[in-house]
Amino acid sequence: MGKIEIDPLRWKEEVLKKYPKKVAKKRDKGILVHDGEMPKQIMANVRSIPGIITARGCTYAGCKGVVLGPTRDIINLVHGPIGCSFYAWLTRRNQTLPPTPESENFMNYCFSTDMQDSNIVFGGELKLKQAVREVFEIFKPKSIGIFSTCPVGLIGDDVHAVAREMKEELGINIFGFSCEGYKGVSQSAGHHIANNTLMKHVIGRNDTAPEGKYKINMLGEYNIGGDAFELERIFEKCGLTLVSSFSGNSTIEQFERAHTADLNVIMCHRSINYVAEMMETKFGIPWFKVNFIGADASAKSLRRIAEYFEDAELMARVEEVIAEEMAIVKEAIETVYPRTTGKVAMLFVGGSRAHHYQELFSELGMSTLSAGYEFGHRDDYEGRRVIPTIQVDADSRNIEVLTIEADETRYRPRKTDEEIAALNAKGCGFGEYDGMMADMAKGALIIDDISHYEMEKLIEIYHPDIFCAGIKEKYCVQKMGIPLKQLHSYDYGGPYAGFEGAVNFYNDIDMMINTSIWKMIKAPWQVEPVIEAEYGV
Ligand code: ICE
């Protein structure tokens, strides 16, 4: 089937025409046809329109699932009906190492208070206390996190009071999260709540720094499909000491001493920028964004880290590692490139991957015709320096903004503002427009919080060679004859980060887009009559 050439502006017009007027007016601001110029403005981080099928998740998902979920030895106890726990149980493919005598691993378990009708009517605090005691008795954890689901907020159970009382009684670190699913407009609110609690109750509790000359934290890396394992391998080879990862395969102790690092590098800015900013204010640790998705991007990020430390020995080591790793990457790309070049991708994922993965596709010679986030904020699209986080976050209601002050005894500015500015000028930091848009081509369609209808229209009209999204979209899209790569869980693949990850990705994408199976598929609606509904006006 040949590609239908249709002007993206016309695509947008056609789609909006189908919506009721008010809806069209709102969606108009969330869909942008790129003219190749920056700055650009898009509407993001606003409520989804009721009735539209959105791919978004909830605040609980952002807090329990995303930020705290990948921690291996904090018991994540969910206060709520069992479904909230069950459906968040190991579905994200955040990987972890087996337990050791020093470090437990509770990842395989699913902890919940399993609230029943009577708890909703008479309150669930007693049941929660009972569950905390029970989990402590059985597992003897160092720490317990309590996560609120929607009913908890609706009936007014005080998880923080329970956490305080239990902390006193049991003598371990216990903290609660008011991350009721309905709180924000998406998962993003949950990230913020998780960041606040980590800052209040965990980071900075242990001042023993690990040995190492160049100490870094990797923020916003959740070890999906083993990504963090690959990055750990590279860091070790370069001689960088990883104090903690937030939060793939990490332990409570690593979190507690995160403030002993010299630098925070941020992989997923959307989910963890609050911790980075608060650590900078409190402990003087600078941060910058990195991107280890893509071989070139990985090389660039390593150079950036080495440049930050301004150490000739480290720079030389990093160059050696890059040269060694790139030899394997080059071989892999040469094999697949002739089969992948010129193909078209579309990417709709949460808050950073829809941007980062464009790098990998361009290494394959593929172009990204359309992309968007489910819950990114304006700074993720337009650039962090153009739109300060705090301003963007003004839209997120009910989320506490912590007042953080410098911790005088432990504040040690790793670099002065002038030194940082000089590094930025050298290209060590990121440019002004470090969001998704600046990296996208003229004519690309940027769509925030894409609706199911819009997704179908993209596929119907443009027939991309690959569509990247999640499990909710996967089988609808594949029934339309287009392969879908899950970029949340990586299907059954990965790692895709770093150098070895890039090679895995090249091979997986080559296989997916070049199999002949897609041409043999006829969607059910192509062979059977269907009933179609129209939106009312
Ligand atoms: Fe960041 Mo699914 Fe969020 Fe991360 Fe990002 Fe996505 Fe969420 Fe996953 C996300 S913003 S939507 S923390 S795109 S769970 S990178 S894939 S690991």
Counting residues of the chain whose pLDDT is more than 70, the rounded percentage is 95
Q: Which two tokens stand for residue 177?
A: 């999260």
Instruction: Specify whether 37 is located in the same domain as 50.
Output: yes
Residue 46: name the closest of 393, 389, 379, 354 by CA: 393
Atom of ligand 1 nearest to the CA of 488: 16
In a domain, 178, yes or no: yes
Here the CATH number for the domain that contains residue 279 is 3.40.50.1980
* Among the ranges given (298-307, 353-362, 394-403, 443-452), the one the predictor scored with the smallest mean pLDDT: 394-403
Q: Which residues contact 263 (CB under 8 A, 6 or more apart)?
A: 214, 215, 216, 217, 285, 286, 287, 305, 308, 309, 414
Predicted complex ipTM? 0.95
In a domain, 372, yes or no: no
pLDDT tens, 100-156? 988 899 999 999 999 999 999 999 999 999 999 999 999 999 999 999 999 999 999
Q: Which of 396, 425, 454 is the last residue of a domain?
A: 425
How far, in Å, CA of 253 to CA of 208, rounded? Answer: 10
How far, in Å, CA of 8 to CA of 215, rounded? Answer: 46
DSSP 8-29: HHHHHHHHHHHS-HHHHHHHHH
Instruction: Specify whether 101 is located in the same domain as 163.
Output: yes
Q: Which of 161, 183, 205 is the last residue of a domain?
A: 183
Active site residue 58: yes
Cis peptide, bond prior to residue 103, ω within 30 of zero: no
Q: Tell the residue nearest (CA) to atom 17 of ligand 1.
A: 222
* Among the ranges given (128-137, 410-419, 451-460), the one the predictor scored with the smallest mean pLDDT: 410-419
Residue with tokens 């304006």: 378
Best of 58, 64, 66, 219 to mutate for ligand 1, by most ligand atoms within 8 A of CB?
66
Instruction: Specify whether 177 is located in the same domain as 251.
Output: no
In a domain, 191, yes or no: no
Best of 273, 352, 484 to mutate for ligand 1, by most ligand atoms within 8 A of CB?
352
Q: Tell the residue nearest (CA) to atom 6 of ligand 1.
A: 350
Atom of ligand 1 nearest to the CA of 67: 12
Backbone angles phi, psi at 349, to 5 degrees: -135, 180
Instruction: Specify whether 409 is located in the same domain as 443.
Output: no
**Residues spanned by the domain of 130:** 59-183
In a domain, 85, yes or no: yes
**Taking residues 476-481, what's their average pLDDT?**
93
Catalytic residue of the set 191, 356, 377, 384: 191
Backbone angles phi, psi at 450, to 5 degrees: -60, 140
Instruction: Specify whether 411 is located in the same domain as 286.
Output: yes
Atom of ligand 1 nearest to the CA of 65: 14
Instruction: Specify whether 136 is located in the same domain as 235.
Output: no
Instruction: Specify whether 49 is located in the same domain as 63.
Output: no
**Taking residues 45-61, what's their average pLDDT?**
94
Residue 377: name the closest of 189, 198, 225 by CA: 189
How far, in Å, CA of 400 to CA of 398, rounded? Answer: 6
Q: Is residue 393 scored above 80 in pLDDT?
A: no
Residue 70: name the closest of 106, 113, 104 by CA: 106
Instruction: Specify whether 446 is located in the same domain as 498.
Output: yes
Terminal-to-terminal C-alpha distance of the chain:
34
CA of 340 from ligand 1 middle (Å) equals 26
In a domain, 350, yes or no: no
Instruction: Specify whether 509 is located in the same domain as 455.
Output: yes
Q: Which residues contact 314 (CB under 8 A, 6 or more apart)?
A: 213, 214, 238, 239, 240, 306
Tally of domains within the chain: 3
In a domain, 379, yes or no: no
Catalytic residue of the set 44, 58, 194, 438: 58
Active site residue 93: no
Q: Which of 425, 453, 477 is the last residue of a domain?
A: 425
Residue type, 216: I
Which residues contact ligand 1 via a Cβ below 6 A?
66, 92, 220, 222, 224, 268, 270-271, 349-353, 487-488
How far, in Å, CA of 351 to CA of 187, rounded? Answer: 10
Give CA 365 to chain center in angstroms.
25
pLDDT band at residue 2 using 50, 70 and 90 as cut-offs: very low
Side-chain-facing half-sphere of 272: CA atoms under 13 Å: 27
Instruction: Specify whether 100 is located in the same domain as 167.
Output: yes
How far, in Å, CA of 495 to CA of 504, rounded? Answer: 7
In a domain, 230, yes or no: yes
What is the reported pTM? Answer: 0.95
Give the pairing type, strands 445-447 and 31-33: antiparallel
In this structure, the chain runs to a length of 537
Residue 240: name the closest of 303, 183, 329, 331 by CA: 303
Atom of ligand 1 nearest to the CA of 57: 11
Residue 394 confidence (pLDDT): 45
Instruction: Specify whether 294 is located in the same domain as 419.
Output: yes
How far, in Å, CA of 447 to CA of 468, rounded? Answer: 14
In a domain, 356, yes or no: no
Catalytic residue of the set 27, 79, 92, 488: 92
Q: Is residue 387 scored above 80 in pLDDT?
A: no
Instruction: Specify whether 421 is located in the same domain as 470.
Output: no
